[in-house]
With several copies, the nearest count.
Chain A
Amino acid sequence: MSYSRYIKWGLWLTLFILVVIAAVLYSLSRGEIDIPLSKIAGILIEGKGSIEYTVLSEIRLPRIILGLSVGGALSLAGVILQGIYRNPLVEPYTLGISGGAALGVAFAIVAGLSYTIGSVILPAAGFIGALATVVSVYMLSVRKGKIHTQNMLLIGVMISFIASSAMMFLMATTTNENLHNIVFWVMGSLDEANENLIRIAAIISVCGLLVSYLFIHTLNALRLGEEKARHLGINTDISIKLLFIIASMLTGMCVSVAGVIGFVGLIIPQFIRIIVGSDFRILLISSFLTGGGFIVFCDTLARTLIAPNELPIGVITGVIGGISFIFILINLGKRSKLI
């Protein structure tokens, strides 16, 4: 009967993988020196010592890996959260995680920790901030072991307000330099020099994908609402909590290493839903791949568009994403499909 659907899914998946590969190759070849696609492999294998080798392996490759991880993780978190809340405006940042992380980083900057401890403190502080937010949102919305999904959303929004107010406080009372550093950090960027951090980001992101696949049945059943999902044998209380934690960890990781890169976690999931439908089995992986590819592509544009100057990546994600999404919305008009 519906095996034809699986074939369709296979085709979509192939397409998305190709998209990612294309984005990666494009990103590898473009920059201050354009390296033809045909030479990339050669340079990477035997070009050690040449400047091209350094550019590819030290500058572009790490960015690509980080971009894939962050883009994938953000989209994944977005898909999961939109699944839990069935509200098309929910995105990874709605729950205040980005606010908490940003506050952590701002605090580290203002306290001058990066001078005393080193710049690894920034992602660490970001992660601690994200964690603190997640824990407070969670604690505040669990009552008698039950989680109030909608309350949680509002509490997240509130925590996010409080965090950004606190950050504003820091910004208003600190030096000019610190203020700038906070602003830049919040804008988001993929230039992270620490290889270990990049490795960790990649691992968390892939693990997040794998673990979230344990919850596909839950996510699919939740499309019918919590009560109906329970009738289908889903332990919604526990599953929603775990899904929330997964999404939070992913978001926290992204924000800590790359700042607040907007748009991806909100729109990629909706965009993919329009294309492949609402079944989470295909939705999760498709969003993950497309999100990664999208960020890598945008980052390449950010590096090259007004070269030699670079743009913050958020400029590109916002403009490209926003315009194409409006275009789709108007032309397809499949409003109903947005959950």
Chain B
Amino acid sequence: KRIVSLAPSVTNMIYLMEAQEKLVGCTNYCLEGVKDKKSIVASAIEVNVEKVLLLKPDVVFATSLTKPSVKDAIKNLGIKVFAFKSATSYDEICEQFILIGKYAGKEPLARKIVESQKKRLDSLEALIPKGKRPKIFFEIGAKPLFTAVPNTFMNDFITKAGGVNIATDITTGTITRENVLLKNPDAIVIVTMGIVGIEEKATWEKYTTLSATKNGKIFTVDPYKSCGPNPVTFVDVVEELITKLYK
């Protein structure tokens, strides 16, 4: 079977289940694919339908970010298109992983990976001190202030790490700073790297009334791992959170 992936997270999963020889095309943001010199068929926005056709794939993995007209166009050429919705929980990530495994003929391996990671997650949960449910503000963007909302896999980072998302009452990611101050989180997780992370941290530390400031629990996590997760990196992030939250 020949597979074309139109999303970095899908490519990432394919590599994880060692099905890379079946992958014939990917986007120029699929780090592994680009390194392997796979044919590039798409950028973040545009898909080169002609190139997809020439690669003669059996299945094209798209996401909800792929333009509908492009999906239609590929279907019109008689190629099977499978579009993943953005995962809303850890379980869905695992389901999608297994589904890709099916198409890539690697179902057993995929299932095995999922099983072992779930076990690892269970053992991590044991590390959470009993009775403690810290309120967490999970910041994924600074200008405007952007946070993880319920029904996303990001929310699962918090719950699996034994915390409570302060943003359970909001529907979309934009949140006011005032609201964060009022909800007074016990910890703030900033998904960014480098100086921006340090600056954001400094901004929050200015607010001395915050218990996160008092506790010294303001820290950053790697955006690459936390924004495009697979069953393994998801658990990596949860592990990082647990160690930083409760140490």
Which A residues lie at the B interface, using CB under 8 A? 31-33, 49-51, 54-55, 58-60, 112, 114-119, 122, 171-177, 179-181, 184-185, 187, 189, 191-194, 302-303, 307-312
Within 8 A of A (CB), among B43-99: 43-51, 53-54, 63-65, 67-73, 75-77, 85-86
Contact B227 A184 (CB under 8 A): no
Q: Is the CB of A189 within 8 A of B65?
A: no
Interface pairs A-B: 9 shortest CB-CB: A115-B194, A310-B46, A193-B72, A308-B179, A119-B68, A193-B73, A32-B178, A177-B64, A32-B50
Please name the residue on chain B nearest to A180 by beta carbon.
B65
- Which residues on the B side are within 8 Å of A311 (C-beta)? 46, 174
* Cβ of B203 under 8 Å from chain A: yes
How distant is A278 from chain B, measured CB to nearest CB, in Å? 38
Q: How far is the CA of A192 from the CA of B85 in the complex (A)?
A: 22
User: If the complex has contacts A308-B175, A309-B46, are A193 and B86 also in contact, measured as CB distance less than 8 A?
Assistant: no
Most buried by A among B48, B193, B207, B208: B48
Given known contacts A59-B50, A118-B199, A310-B48, is B144 in contact with A189 (CB within 8 Å)?
yes
Count of B interface residues, CB-CB < 8 Å: 65
Q: Are B73 and A191 in contact (CB under 8 A)?
A: yes
Q: List, sorted by A's number, 16 A–B pairs whose CB atoms are closer than 8 Å.
A: A32-B181, A51-B53, A58-B206, A59-B177, A114-B196, A118-B195, A119-B195, A122-B143, A173-B44, A175-B44, A184-B45, A184-B143, A194-B69, A309-B42, A311-B174, A312-B174
Instruction: Give the complex CA separation of A303 and B51 in angstroms.
Output: 10
Chain A proximity mask over B141-180: 1 for CB below 8 Å, otherwise 0? 1111110000000000000000000010111111111110
- Tell me whether B12 is interfacial, beta carbon within 8 Å: no
Contact A310 B86 (CB under 8 A): no
- Partner of A32 from the list B48, B69, B172 (CB cut-off 8 Å) is B48
B-chain residues with CB within 8 Å of residue A185 when the two chains form the complex: 67, 143
Chain A hits for B53, CB < 8 A: 51, 54-55, 59
Q: Give the interface of B toward A (CB within 8 A).
A: 28-29, 39-51, 53-54, 63-65, 67-73, 75-77, 85-86, 141-146, 167, 169-179, 181-182, 192-196, 199, 203, 206-209, 223, 227
* A172-B195 CB under 8 A given contacts A32-B179, A32-B181: no
Contacts of A59 in B (CB 8 A): 49-50, 53, 73, 77, 177-178, 181
Residue of B nearest to A189 (CB): B144
Which residue from chain B places its CB closest to the CB of A172 in the assembled complex? B45
Cross-chain contact A309 with B209 (CB below 8 angstroms): no
Asked if B45 contacts A181 (CB within 8 A), the reply is no
Decide: B77 and A303 in contact? CB cutoff 8 A: no
User: Quick check: A51 and B141 within 8 Å, CB to CB?
Assistant: no
- Contact A118 B196, beta carbon cutoff 8 Å: yes
**Is B69 within 8 A of A193, CB to CB?**
yes
